[in-house]
Chain A
Amino acid sequence: MPYAICFLLFMVGLYCAVVKKNMVKIVIGIMVMEYAVNLFLIMLGYRFGGVAPILSRSDVNNETGQIMQSFIDNSVDPLPQALVLTSIVISLGSLALLISICVRIYEKYGTFDITEIRRLKG
C-alpha cells in the first residue's frame, strides 16, 4: 500500500511533466518524480520497529568490541540511504541547471509557454 501511494506520486509528476505547457510546471513535475523515487528507495529498506543505522554506546560490546546482535537484527538498510543521499544532492544540481535554462528561454522569448517557442526548430 505505501508503495502504491508512492507510485501514484510518481505518476502525478509524470503527468505534470508530459501534459503541462508551462516550463516551470515541467520542472516541478520532474522534481515530484525525484521525490517519489527517493522515497520509494528509502521505503524499501525500512523495517518495522527498526532503528536508525547509527551506533550508540550500548550497541557495542565493551569487552570485545563486537556489535550487538540486537542492533544487527533491528537496523534499517543503510545502503539505500547512502545512495539516496547522493541522489538528493544531484537533484539540486539538475534543478539549478533546468531553472537556468528556463530563465534564459524566458529572457529570449518573453514567455514560459513551450508552444509559443517556435523558433527553436531548424
Chain B
Amino acid sequence: MAQGIRDKVAILGMGCTKYGERWDCDSEDLAVQAFVDTLEDAGIEKNDIQAAWLGSHFDEVNIGKGGNFLGVTLHLPYIPVTRTENFCASGTEAFRGACYAVAAGAYDIALALGVEKLKDTGYGGLPNSPAFGQFSQMIGPNATAPGMFAQLATAYSAKYGVPMEKIKEAIAHVSWKSHQNGAKNPRAHLRKPVSMEQIMMAPIIAYPLGLFDCCGVSDGAAAAIVTTPEIAAKLKPNQPLVKVKALQIAVSSGEEVAYNNWDGAGFATTQRAAKRAYEEAGITNPREEISMMEVHDCFSITEFATMEDLQVSPPGGAADDILAGFYDLDGQVPCQPDGGLKCFGHPIASSGIRMIFEMYNQLLGRWPEDRAVKNPKFGLTHNLGGVPTANVCSIGIFGLD
C-alpha cells in the first residue's frame, strides 16, 4: 500500500534569485545564481549531487527542450538531468522528481531547479503559444491567460449569488495584501504598496480583472537540494530540518472542459490535490492547522477561488474571509507572505520552487520580524497551471521535524 513521502525527504538547501524584468540576465545567469546560492546553503560540493531535475515551461522564448541546459550551464558531472514541463507546476514537478528519487532510495542527494526567462518576447503578458496543441489552437478562442481565469468570477457570481461588485472588492483586497507583503521583500519583482482605490480603478485587462489583478511577468530562477532526513541531520546537526510532509499533483480529467458536472467557480484539480495532500500530511482541519500559504495567484480571482478549493474558506465564503483580513500577514492564515506571484513575480517554472523557498525560510525563522509568520507549523504551497477548464494543480506541504 502506497504511503506517500511524508517525512522521507528533507530540504538541505535552497536559493532564489531576485525576480523581475532581468534585462541584464540570460537564463544561464539566473540558473547559475540560484544554483550557487543553493549549494552554499546546503553546504555541499557540486559533485555531491547525484541527479537533477530541471523545470522550464516556455520553449519558445526560453532554454529549449531537454535537460541539457542544466548539465551544460552548471557543468554537472554527467549526471542524469530530467526536464519537467507541466505548466505552472513545472517547478514543483522538478522538486517532486528530486524528492521521489531520494524517497525511493535511488539517490542520496538531488537537485531541483526551475528557471524561466519571459522578458524576451517584446510584449507584455505571457508569450502566445499553442499550449493545448494544434487542434485546440485551431478552434479555441482568441484568449489570453487573464481572460481564461477571469471567467471564474462570472461563474462564481452566478453559482453563489455573490454580486460582481463584492467579488471585485475582495479580489482587490487579495492584490492589496500581496503588494503590502511584496513591498517588504528585497527579492520581489514589484515592491510598491498600492491603495485599494488604485487597484479598483485600474484599467480592465479582462473583465472583471484590472491591471492589479494580474501577477507580474518576471524572469527568475529558484533551486532546492534535497536529501534524506538522516543525511540532512548529519550534514546540518545544528539546524532544524524542514521536511516534505506532502507532495500531490492532480491533472484535469476533461470533465471540466467537456462535461456538465463542473461549476466553473473553482478548480476540480485543486480540490482533489488538496484532499490527497492533507491525507498525506496527516492534516484533518486545514483552516486551523495550516500556518501559512503560498498559492497560485496568477490572478487575484485564482487566489480567491483557491481559498475555498483548499478548504480553508467555506464554499461561498472566500470574499468574507478575504475582506476580514483572514489571509493578511497578520491574519489567521497569512497567504503570500513573500508577495506571491502578484508581487514576487511569476517566472513560470521557477514559481513552485520559489514558494517552497519562502516556506523553508519562514519555517527556519530566517526572515526579518516585519515579514515573519509567527510560529509556523505547516506551510502549504500551491501551483495551478493551464486554464480553469484544463489544468494541473500541485500542492506541497512542508513542516519542521
Partners in one complex: no
Interface residues of chain B, those whose CB is within 8 Å of chain A, are none
